[in-house]
Chains A and B, each alone.
Chain A
Amino acid sequence: MTRLVPTGVLLLGALYCLLPVSWVLVAASKSPGELFTLGAFTPGSGLLGNLAELSAYRDGVFWKWTANTALYAGGGALLSTAVSAVAGFALAKYRFRGRNLIFNVLIGGVLVPSVVLAVPQYLLFAKVGLADTYWAVLLPQILHPYGIYLARIYAGAAVPDSLLEAGRIDGGGEWRLLRKVGLPLMVPGMVTIFLFQFVAIWNNFLLPFIMLGDDGKFPLTVGLYTLLAAGANQPSLYNLIITGALLSIIPLIALFLTMQRYWRTDLSGGAVKG
Chain B
Amino acid sequence: MKRTVPLIICSLTGFILIISWFLPAAESWGEKVTHWFDIVAAFAFVLGGANLLKIHLQKISNRRIGWGYSAVTLTAFLVTLLAGLFKINVNPSMNYPAYSWSGNYLDEGGLLWWIYEYLFVPLSATLFAMLAFYITSAAFRAFRAKNIEASILLFTAFLILLGRTYAGSLITSGLPDSLAFLRFENLTIIIMSVFNLAGSRAITIGIALGVVTTSLKLLLAVDRSYLGSD
Do A and B share a complex?
Answer: no
